[in-house]
Structure 1
Amino acid sequence: MAADYDAPRNAPDGDENTISIEARGTKATGLAADLDEGDSADGFELDAAIIDDALDVVVLPMQENEFTCVECFLVRPRIQLDHESKLGPVCMECAAL
């Protein structure tokens, strides 16, 4: 039996289980549904010592035996070089795709 899914759905009159949209109210969805009443951005405080340690990162320059793949933009060791394209080196993982 074919059903017309575009046709408006009308609830039978006198249905006790039917609740209007106004009566149901709005319900939070997504991230708002996961938050508790007391949650706010101001409620999270981090210790200054933890912040300083977490942001202390040493960045090394690219080594002689490394290359940057032009497809995924990751720095890879030369052993993972598949081929050189017009744009530059391509790693084995990107060449397999």
Structure 2
Amino acid sequence: MTTDYDSPRKTDPDEVAEDSLDELKAGKDQSRSAVVDVEEADTAESFELPGADLSGEEFTVRVIPKRADEFTCTSCFLVHHRSRLADTADGQMICLDCAG
């Protein structure tokens, strides 16, 4: 038997249970629990706080020099390809994202 999902649904009024607002709120409160799921691996040491002291850390990043066909946007200071250069009247090099 095929089902036409575009046709309006027919519901039997006897099958539809109308819960009152108080019953819905009571069910919502019962579904909440005061227990928080915390894994044993989640300890205070695993969280990184903003402004944490990272002076002992060493980061290695490969810096690639700017190529001849690239420019640095004077607004966002990102390096873009020349095809991303917007036409500006004052002669500043601004990318299409900042000009738009």
Name the TM-score class by shorter chain: 0.3 to 0.5
User: More strand per residue: 1 or 2?
Assistant: 1
More helix per residue: 1
Normalising by structure 1, we get a TM-score of: 0.40
